[in-house]
Amino acid sequence: MTVPLADPYLLPMAALLTAIGVTEIYRLGPAGNAFRQGLWVVIGVGAFSATLFWLQSDYRVLERYKYVFGVTALCLLFLPRLPVIGEPINGARLWVHVGSLQFQPGELGKIALIVFLAAYLRERREVLAQGRLKDWGPLLVIWGAAMLLLFVTNDLGSALLYYAIFLAMLYIATARVAFVAAALGLFLVGSFAVAQGTPHVRERVTNWLSPWSTHTVFCPANGKMMLRQSCQSYQEVNSLYSLGHGGFGGTGLGHGIFTGANGQQVIPDLNTDFIYSALAQELGLIGAAALLLLYMAFVLRGFRIALAATDGFSKLLAAGLSFGFAFQTFVIVGGITRIIPLTGITLPFVSYGGSSVVANFLLVAGLLLISHRANRQEAGA
C-alpha cells in the first residue's frame, strides 16, 4: 500500500457518492450514459492510483513548480474559448470538444490553481502584509483572470468558484479579514460591470430573482412572446417542482416523474446540472439531507487533515482542496434551490461528466497523501 496511514474514511465516502451518481444516471437513462460514466470512474481511479504511486515519497515536490501550475490553470480555464475545439453549451463556454471526446478543462484547472495558490501563499504570506505590488502581482492576475473568465465564458458559477477558492486560501494564509473584504469588493464590482455587458449572465440573475412572470416576455429560443417560466427559467421552475414533489420521504428510487407524454425529459440536462433535483424527488427531503450530510462529512475530514498537517504548504493545499470541494457543492445545490443564481458546474462525484470525476479523484488522492504524511510524522513523534 502506498498510503497505509491515510484517513480511512475519505475514499469510502467518495466511492459511495460515486455509486449514488452512477445508479441515478443509469435510472435516468439512456443506459449508455451510465456505461460511459463507469468508464470515467475507472479512468479516475487509475489517475488516483497513479498520483498516489508517483507522489508517495514526497508530494511537496509540487511546490517547486508553482508557476507551472499557475500558468497551466489559466490555460485550462481559457481553453474552451479557443476556436474549433471550444464548444458553447446553454450559452456558456465551459467545454472542449476533440473528436468524440468532450470534457470540461476547468475541473482540472481548479486543481492546478489550488496547488499554485498553496505554494505561492506559503512562500509569500509574510511579505503580502507589506502591500508591495510585486508580491501582489500574481494574485491581482488571478482577479483579472476571474473577471475575464466571467466575460469570455458567460458563466458566473465557474468564476465564482475559482475566486472563492482564492479568497478562502488568502484568508487561511494571512488571517487578514481586510484582504478578503477588499478582494471580495473587487469581485462584486467587476461582476456587476461584466454582467451589464453580458446578456447571458444578466439573464441568469433575472431568472434567479424572478423565475415566474404573469406577463409574456421575449423568448430568445423561438423568437416568440411567452411566460418566463415557459422559456428562460423553464429549467429552474421545473427543478423546483421536482424538489417539492419529493416531499419528505420521496417517490422512491425509479418512481420519479422526469419525462412528459412525448417521452422527453421535463428538465433538460437532468443527469448533469440537475441531478440533485432528481435525487431529491426520488429520495425526498430525508434522502437529500442525508446526501448533503455525506458531503459535509467529506469536507470535515478534509479540514481535519489540514489541521493535522505540519507544514504550511500541506495545510494550505488540504484546506484549498477541501474548500473547493465544499464550495462547488454549495454552488450547484444553492443554484437548484434558488439560494444563488443557477450555474452549470457539476455536483462532485454524482453528476454525469468524466472531467469532473477524474478531477475529484485527484482531489481525494491529494488529501490522502497529506493525511498519510501527517499521521506518519505523528506516529514517529
Looking at residue 268, what DSSP letter applies?
T
What is the Cα–Cα distance from 203 to 235, expressed in whole angstroms?
Answer: 13
Record the cell numbers describing residue 10, joined without a space.
Answer: 475519505
Element (H, E) at 325: helix 312-336
Is the Cβ–Cβ distance between 284 and 245 less than 8 Å?
A: no
Cβ of 42: how many Cβ atoms within 10 Å?
A: 11
Is the Cβ–Cβ distance between 239 and 261 less than 8 Å?
A: no
What is the Cα–Cα distance from 371 to 302, expressed in whole angstroms?
Answer: 9
Is the Cβ–Cβ distance between 163 and 169 less than 8 Å?
A: no
Domain positions in the chain: 10-380
Ranges in the chain, pLDDT < 70: 1, 83-95, 97-100, 129-139, 142-143, 145-147, 149-155, 194-195, 197-198, 200, 261, 263, 380-381
Element (H, E) at 331: helix 312-336
Q: Quick one: pLDDT at residue 330?
A: 94
Q: Quick one: pLDDT at residue 16?
A: 97
Nearest Cα neighbor of 56 from 381, 377, 365 is 365
Give the CA distances from residue 377 to residues 6, 57, 303, 372, 374, in Å, rounded to whole numbers and listed in that order.
12, 13, 18, 9, 5
Is the Cβ–Cβ distance between 342 and 235 less than 8 Å?
A: yes
Q: Quick one: pLDDT at residue 203?
A: 80
Residue with the three cell numbers 484549498? 320
Is the Cβ–Cβ distance between 343 and 335 less than 8 Å?
A: yes
Give the CA distances from residue 200 to residues 153, 191, 204, 265, in Å, rounded to whole numbers and listed in that order.
10, 13, 6, 23
What is the Cα–Cα distance from 212 to 229, expressed in whole angstroms?
Answer: 5
Q: Quick one: pLDDT at residue 78?
A: 76
Q: Quick one: pLDDT at residue 351?
A: 92
Task: Please state the pTM of the whole predicted model.
Answer: 0.91
Residue with the three cell numbers 435510472? 27
Give phi and psi for 93, each to the nearest 5. -105, 85
What is the Cα–Cα distance from 74 to 147, expressed in whole angstroms?
Answer: 12
Looking at residue 258, what DSSP letter applies?
-
Report the length, in residues, of the chain: 381
